[in-house]
Amino acid sequence: MPEPLPDEGPPSDLVSDVFARDCTSRSAFEDVTAKWASLTLLALHEGGYRFNALRRRVEGVSEKMLSQTLQALERDGFLTREVVTAIPPRVEYALTPLGQRVAGRLRALADLLEEAAPEVERAREEHPGRAR
Binding-site ranges for a copy of itself (CB under 8 A): 15-21, 23-25, 27-30, 32-33, 35, 38-39, 42-43, 57-60, 71-72, 74-77, 98, 101-102, 105-106, 108-110, 112-124, 127, 129, 132
* Residue with Cβ nearer a copy of itself (87 or 117): 117
* Residue with Cβ nearer a copy of itself (16 or 62): 16
Map the chain to HEC letters: CCCCCCCCCCCCCCCCCCCCCCCHHHHHHHHHHCCCHHHHHHHHCCCCEEHHHHHHHCCCCCHHHHHHHHHHHHHCCCEEEEEECCCCCEEEEEECHHHHHHHHHHHHHHHHHHHHHHHHHHHHHHCCCCCC
43 — phi, psi (to 5°)? -65, -45
Task: Find the shortest distance in angstroms from Cβ 78 to a copy of itself.
Answer: 8
* Residue with Cβ nearer a copy of itself (88 or 132): 132
Please tell me whether the peptide bond between 6 and the residue prior to it is cis, using omega within 30 degrees of 0. Answer: no
* Residue with Cβ nearer a copy of itself (89 or 129): 129
Task: Find the shortest distance in angstroms from Cβ 98 to a copy of itself.
Answer: 6
Task: Find the shortest distance in angstroms from Cβ 87 to a copy of itself.
Answer: 26
Task: Find the shortest distance in angstroms from Cβ 2 to a copy of itself.
Answer: 25
